[in-house]
Structure 1
Amino acid sequence: MPHHPQGTKGWTKLNSYQAVWDPKVDLGKFYFTDFRNNRKETPYMNAENFARVIDILRNETPVYGNASTGSVTTQTEAVGEEES
Protein backbone atom coordinates (compact mmCIF):
# COMPACT_ATOMS: atom_id res chain seq x y z
CA MET A 1 0.00 0.00 0.00
CA PRO A 2 1.34 3.47 -0.84
CA HIS A 3 2.41 5.83 1.92
CA HIS A 4 -0.36 7.89 3.46
CA PRO A 5 -0.55 10.60 6.11
CA GLN A 6 0.23 9.34 9.58
CA GLY A 7 -2.84 8.74 11.70
CA THR A 8 -5.33 8.39 8.84
CA LYS A 9 -7.35 5.25 8.27
CA GLY A 10 -9.75 4.10 5.61
CA TRP A 11 -7.56 3.80 2.50
CA THR A 12 -9.05 1.44 -0.07
CA LYS A 13 -8.69 0.67 -3.77
CA LEU A 14 -11.31 2.55 -5.79
CA ASN A 15 -13.34 0.99 -8.59
CA SER A 16 -15.34 4.09 -9.46
CA TYR A 17 -16.35 7.54 -8.30
CA GLN A 18 -19.07 10.14 -8.70
CA ALA A 19 -18.10 13.81 -8.72
CA VAL A 20 -20.61 16.41 -7.50
CA TRP A 21 -20.15 20.19 -7.82
CA ASP A 22 -22.66 22.35 -5.90
CA PRO A 23 -22.75 25.89 -7.36
CA LYS A 24 -24.95 27.12 -4.49
CA VAL A 25 -22.07 26.73 -2.04
CA ASP A 26 -19.23 26.76 -4.62
CA LEU A 27 -17.86 23.45 -3.29
CA GLY A 28 -17.54 19.91 -4.59
CA LYS A 29 -17.42 16.40 -3.17
CA PHE A 30 -17.03 12.83 -4.35
CA TYR A 31 -18.65 9.49 -3.75
CA PHE A 32 -15.97 6.79 -3.82
CA THR A 33 -16.95 3.20 -4.62
CA ASP A 34 -14.36 0.67 -3.53
CA PHE A 35 -13.47 -2.80 -4.76
CA ARG A 36 -16.08 -4.29 -2.39
CA ASN A 37 -18.78 -2.04 -3.92
CA ASN A 38 -19.02 0.10 -0.75
CA ARG A 39 -19.95 3.71 -1.55
CA LYS A 40 -18.75 6.52 0.74
CA GLU A 41 -19.10 10.29 0.60
CA THR A 42 -16.12 12.65 0.99
CA PRO A 43 -16.22 16.02 2.72
CA TYR A 44 -16.83 19.12 0.55
CA MET A 45 -13.71 20.71 -0.92
CA ASN A 46 -12.88 23.97 -2.67
CA ALA A 47 -12.48 24.23 -6.46
CA GLU A 48 -8.68 23.94 -6.42
CA ASN A 49 -8.64 20.72 -4.39
CA PHE A 50 -11.63 19.32 -6.31
CA ALA A 51 -9.74 19.82 -9.59
CA ARG A 52 -6.62 18.11 -8.22
CA VAL A 53 -8.56 15.06 -7.01
CA ILE A 54 -10.55 14.70 -10.22
CA ASP A 55 -7.35 14.93 -12.28
CA ILE A 56 -5.83 12.00 -10.37
CA LEU A 57 -9.05 9.99 -10.57
CA ARG A 58 -9.28 10.49 -14.34
CA ASN A 59 -5.64 9.97 -15.25
CA GLU A 60 -4.07 7.48 -12.85
CA THR A 61 -4.56 3.80 -12.12
CA PRO A 62 -4.82 2.13 -9.72
CA VAL A 63 -6.13 4.79 -7.35
CA TYR A 64 -6.64 4.42 -3.61
CA GLY A 65 -8.99 6.76 -1.77
CA ASN A 66 -9.79 7.82 1.76
CA ALA A 67 -13.40 9.00 1.89
CA SER A 68 -13.07 10.43 5.40
CA THR A 69 -10.53 13.00 4.18
CA GLY A 70 -11.24 13.12 0.42
CA SER A 71 -7.62 12.15 -0.24
CA VAL A 72 -6.39 10.00 -3.13
CA THR A 73 -3.08 8.31 -3.89
CA THR A 74 -1.63 6.07 -6.60
CA GLN A 75 0.82 3.20 -6.87
CA THR A 76 4.39 3.95 -7.89
CA GLU A 77 5.17 3.96 -11.62
CA ALA A 78 8.40 3.04 -13.33
CA VAL A 79 10.47 6.02 -14.50
CA GLY A 80 9.62 6.89 -18.09
CA GLU A 81 6.30 5.03 -18.08
CA GLU A 82 3.88 6.74 -20.45
CA GLU A 83 0.40 7.81 -19.49
CA SER A 84 -2.34 5.99 -21.36
Structure 2
Amino acid sequence: MPHYAQGTTTWTQLKGYQAVWDPKIDLGKFYFTTFQGNREETPFMNAENFARVIDILRNETPVYGNSSTGSVTTQNEQVGEEES
Protein backbone atom coordinates (compact mmCIF):
# COMPACT_ATOMS: atom_id res chain seq x y z
CA MET A 1 0.00 0.00 0.00
CA PRO A 2 1.62 3.30 -1.07
CA HIS A 3 2.06 6.11 1.42
CA TYR A 4 2.10 8.78 -1.29
CA ALA A 5 -0.07 9.55 -4.29
CA GLN A 6 1.40 8.15 -7.49
CA GLY A 7 4.28 10.26 -8.81
CA THR A 8 4.66 12.58 -5.82
CA THR A 9 5.78 12.75 -2.21
CA THR A 10 3.78 15.85 -1.20
CA TRP A 11 0.42 14.04 -1.08
CA THR A 12 0.34 11.72 1.93
CA GLN A 13 -2.24 8.98 2.33
CA LEU A 14 -4.81 9.90 4.96
CA LYS A 15 -5.85 7.47 7.66
CA GLY A 16 -8.40 9.83 9.21
CA TYR A 17 -9.45 13.43 9.66
CA GLN A 18 -11.13 15.86 12.02
CA ALA A 19 -13.33 18.58 10.53
CA VAL A 20 -13.70 21.89 12.40
CA TRP A 21 -16.22 24.59 11.43
CA ASP A 22 -16.11 27.95 13.25
CA PRO A 23 -19.41 29.83 12.79
CA LYS A 24 -17.97 32.97 14.42
CA ILE A 25 -15.65 33.50 11.46
CA ASP A 26 -17.61 31.41 8.91
CA LEU A 27 -14.54 29.30 8.04
CA GLY A 28 -13.50 25.70 8.51
CA LYS A 29 -10.33 23.61 8.54
CA PHE A 30 -9.24 20.01 8.88
CA TYR A 31 -6.77 18.04 10.90
CA PHE A 32 -5.51 15.24 8.66
CA THR A 33 -4.17 12.06 10.26
CA THR A 34 -1.60 10.65 7.88
CA PHE A 35 -0.85 7.02 7.14
CA GLN A 36 2.22 7.41 9.37
CA GLY A 37 0.01 8.60 12.26
CA ASN A 38 1.00 12.29 12.13
CA ARG A 39 -1.68 14.92 12.72
CA GLU A 40 -1.42 17.87 10.32
CA GLU A 41 -3.51 21.06 10.36
CA THR A 42 -4.81 22.63 7.14
CA PRO A 43 -5.40 26.34 6.54
CA PHE A 44 -8.91 27.74 7.05
CA MET A 45 -11.21 27.57 4.01
CA ASN A 46 -14.57 29.01 3.04
CA ALA A 47 -17.82 26.99 3.16
CA GLU A 48 -17.77 26.04 -0.52
CA ASN A 49 -14.26 24.59 -0.41
CA PHE A 50 -14.87 22.98 3.00
CA ALA A 51 -17.91 21.15 1.58
CA ARG A 52 -15.93 19.91 -1.44
CA VAL A 53 -13.10 18.55 0.70
CA ILE A 54 -15.40 16.86 3.21
CA ASP A 55 -17.37 15.23 0.37
CA ILE A 56 -14.19 13.63 -1.00
CA LEU A 57 -13.04 12.57 2.46
CA ARG A 58 -16.39 10.90 3.18
CA ASN A 59 -16.97 9.23 -0.18
CA GLU A 60 -13.64 8.24 -1.72
CA THR A 61 -10.93 5.78 -0.80
CA PRO A 62 -7.99 5.88 -0.65
CA VAL A 63 -7.60 9.63 -0.18
CA TYR A 64 -4.33 11.54 -0.18
CA GLY A 65 -3.97 14.99 1.38
CA ASN A 66 -1.67 17.98 1.28
CA SER A 67 -2.09 19.72 4.62
CA SER A 68 -0.16 22.85 3.60
CA THR A 69 -2.92 23.70 1.10
CA GLY A 70 -5.87 21.68 2.47
CA SER A 71 -6.08 19.84 -0.86
CA VAL A 72 -7.17 16.23 -1.31
CA THR A 73 -6.85 13.79 -4.20
CA THR A 74 -7.74 10.22 -5.07
CA GLN A 75 -5.99 7.69 -7.28
CA ASN A 76 -7.14 6.53 -10.69
CA GLU A 77 -10.43 4.61 -10.80
CA GLN A 78 -11.73 2.70 -13.78
CA VAL A 79 -14.75 4.28 -15.46
CA GLY A 80 -17.94 2.72 -14.12
CA GLU A 81 -16.27 1.28 -11.03
CA GLU A 82 -18.82 1.04 -8.24
CA GLU A 83 -18.17 2.44 -4.79
CA SER A 84 -17.92 -0.17 -2.07
TM-score computed with the length of structure 1 as normaliser: 0.89
- Note the aligned Cα RMSD (angstroms): 1.5
Superposed CA deviations along residues 24-54 of structure 1, whole A, max 9, x for unmatched, are: 0000000000011000100000000000000
* 1:79 corresponding residue in structure 2: 79
CA-CA distance at 1:10 after TM superposition: 3.1
Q: Percent identity?
A: 77
**Structure 1 pair 52/2, CA: closer, same or farther in 2 (3 Å)?**
farther
List alignment gaps of at least 5 residues for structure 2: none
List alignment gaps of at least 5 residues for structure 1: none
4+ residue segments displaced more than 4 Å = none
TM-score computed with the length of structure 2 as normaliser: 0.89
Work out the CA distance in 2 between the residues paired with 1:43 and 1:35: 20
Higher relative contact order (CA 8 A, sep 6+): 1
* 1:53 corresponding residue in structure 2: 53
Q: 5 Å matches for 1:26-45?
A: 26-45=26-45
Equivalent residue pairs, number? 80
Instruction: Tell me which amino acid in the other structure corresponds to 1:43.
Output: P
